[in-house]
Amino acid sequence: MSRNEGSLVQPSMASLKTAGTMVLVAAISLLLPLVIGFASAKLSPTTSLQGAVLAAILFPAFLLALLRPKLLIAYTLLIWAVAPELRRIADWMEGVYHPVSLLSLAPLLTGATLAIPVLREIHQTQKSSNRIILLFAVALGYGALIGLAKNGMGSVYDLANYIVPLLLIPFFAVTRFGPKDIDRLLYAFANIAVLVAVYGIVQYLTVPPWDAFWMNHADMISIGTPYPLEIRVFSTLNSPGPAATFLVFALVPMILEKKWQGALRWVGVLLVVICLLTTLVRAAWLVLLVMLLVYIASSPGKGKWKTLLQLSFVAAALFFIVPKLPGAEGLVARMETLTSVQEDHSYNERLSLWQNMLPMVAANPVGQGIGSVGQGTKIGNGGELGEYGNMDNGFIALLLTFGALGALFFFTALGAVAKQIMVRVTNKDHLQPYARLSLAAWTGAVVSLISDNGFPGMKGYLIWMLIGLGLSAREITQSRKKGTPHAAIERKITSH
C-alpha cells in the first residue's frame, strides 16, 4: 500500500511543479509587455529602443531557464556572439555612436538567467563543487570590497563579468549533461562559430557600413582602417581579440571530433580557420596549439594518430588555400613574426609591461579591487578606458585586481578545478573525451594569461562552459516507469 502511495505522490508533485512553471511563464508573458510599455514612455527614444531590443533578447532566455535549461547555454553563446553587432547596427541606424549602451548588458543579463535553474536545484551540488564555489566566492568578495571603495560603480559591472561565467560551475553541478546533450551543444557551438566566421570573411572583403561607422567613432587604431582588405576582422564581436577567442574555443572541438564539427563539417572548419587568420591575433594561435596538444597528449594511442591525421589535413589545406586569399601578403607577414618573437613590437611591449608593473604590484599587496582593470574602467570615466583599461598580461591583471590574498584564493580554486578534471581524465571510459576537452580548456585558459585575463566576460564563459561539460558528463538512462521525475533519475545515478 505504501509503495503504491509513493508512486502516486511522485507524479502529483511533478504535475504541480509543471503547473507552477506554466503559471509563472503566463504571468511573465502578461506583465512583461506592460512593464516595457510603461518604461518606454518614461525613457528617451534611444534608451527606449535599446531597452526594447534588450527585453526581446532576454525573454527567450527566461523561458529556456524555466523550461529547457540545457538549451539555455547554446542561446547564451549566440547572444555573446551577436550582441555587439546588434549594438553597432542600432547606433548606425540612429546615426549616433554611444560609447556605453544598454545592449552591452545583453550577454551578461542573458547569462545571469543561469541562476534560475541553479537556485531551483542548489541542494544537489556536491561537496567538491561547493569547495570550488566557496574559494572563488572569497576571492570575488575580497576584490569587490576593495573595488567598491576604490572604483565605485565600475566594480559592479566588472564583478558581473566574473560572476556570470562562474555560474556555469553550479549550473553544470545541478544540470546533468549526458553525452548526447554535450554533443548537441558542441554541434550548436560549431554552427554559431561558422556564422561568425562567414560574417567575418564578408567583413574583411566588404566592410559593412555599420561596422565602418563604429570603427570611425570608436577610435581603435589597432584594428586597421575601414576599407576592404585593410581591416583586422572582428566579425560580430567587439574587437579582433574576442572574435579570435570565440573562434578558437569552437575550433578546437571541431578539429578533434567529427561529431562536434557542425553542419558544414570540414568546410566549416576551414571557414573558421580562414576567419581566424584575418583577425591577426597571434596569441589565439598559441592557445589553439596548446589546447590541441593537451588533448592529443592525454588521448589513447589510437586516438593520437587519428587526431594528428586530422591536423595534417587542416595544415595541408591551409598551405594551399591561404596564399590564394585576397590580401594574403599581410596575413602571411603577420604569421611570420611568430618565428622572430624578439624583434616583434608587441612582444617587447608585453615584456616591458611585466618589468614595469611587477614592482608596483609587489608594493601594493592589497590590490586595486575589481573594476580597476579592463572594460569596467569605462564606467564613470565618460566611456573611456581608465589607466589599466588595456592590460596585456593576465597574471598582472589578477594580482593587481585581487592583491596577494585574493589571488591566492583565486589560483587555489583553479588548482581545485584541475584536480577534479584529472580524476575524470584518468577514468578510462567512453566519457573520457569530454574530460580531455575540459583539461585542454583549463590549460589553454592558464596559458593565455600571458596575454590577457580571460576569466571575466565572454572568454570566461567559454572557458567554464568547456570545463563544466567535461566535469558534468554523465551516462543518463531513461526510466521505464511512467511518472518518474528526471531529477530523481539523475540523483539516483549520481549516488552510484
3-state secondary structure of 147: helix
**Least confident piece of the model among 23-32, 83-92, 122-131, 241-250:** 23-32
Q: pLDDT tens digit string along 98-124?
A: 777 788 889 999 999 999 999 888 777
Q: Would residue 371 count as lying in a domain?
A: yes
pLDDT at 415: 94
**Is pTM beyond 0.75 here?**
yes
pLDDT at 109: 93
For the cut 50, the answer to whether the pLDDT of residue 284 exceeds it is yes
CA distance 358 to 76: 36
H helices present in 298-364, as ranges: 301-321, 328-336, 345-363
Q: Which amino acid is at 209?
A: P
For the cut 80, the answer to whether the pLDDT of residue 225 exceeds it is yes
User: How high does pLDDT run on average in the chain?
Assistant: 80
pLDDT at 482: 39
CA distance 269 to 306: 16
Residue 350: band (very low, low, confident or very high) from pLDDT cuts 50, 70, 90: low
Q: pLDDT tens digit string along 30-89?
A: 565 555 555 555 555 667 777 788 888 999 999 999 889 999 999 999 999 999 999 999
pLDDT at 52: 80
Query: Could you give the C-alpha distances from 255 to 286, 289, 291, in angstroms and in order?
Result: 16, 11, 11
Q: Would residue 169 count as lying in a domain?
A: yes
Tell me which residue range forms the domain holding 399: 132-176+340-496
What percentage of the chain carries pLDDT values higher than 70? 74
Tally the domains of the chain.
1
Q: Would residue 433 count as lying in a domain?
A: yes
Q: Would residue 394 count as lying in a domain?
A: yes
Q: Which amino acid is at 447?
A: V
Contact 97, 217 (CB under 8 A): yes
Q: Would residue 162 count as lying in a domain?
A: yes
Q: Would residue 357 count as lying in a domain?
A: yes
Cα separation of the two ends of the chain: 28
pLDDT at 463: 95
What percentage of the chain carries pLDDT values higher than 90? 34
Query: Following DSSP, what letter does each residue of 175-232 receive, concatenated?
Result: SPBPHHHHHHHHHHHHHHHHHHHHHHHHHHHH--HHHHHHHHHHT-GGGB-SSTTSB-
CA distance 31 to 41: 16
Mean pLDDT of 17-39: 56
For the cut 80, the answer to whether the pLDDT of residue 308 exceeds it is no
Mean pLDDT of 191-204: 95
Q: Would residue 238 count as lying in a domain?
A: no
Query: Following DSSP, what letter does each residue of 419-455 receive, concatenated?
Result: HHHHHHHTS-STTHHHHHHHHHHHHHHHHGGGT---S
Q: Which of 399, 400, 398 is nearest to 387 (CA)?
A: 400
Radius of gyration of the chain (CA): 23
Q: Would residue 384 count as lying in a domain?
A: yes
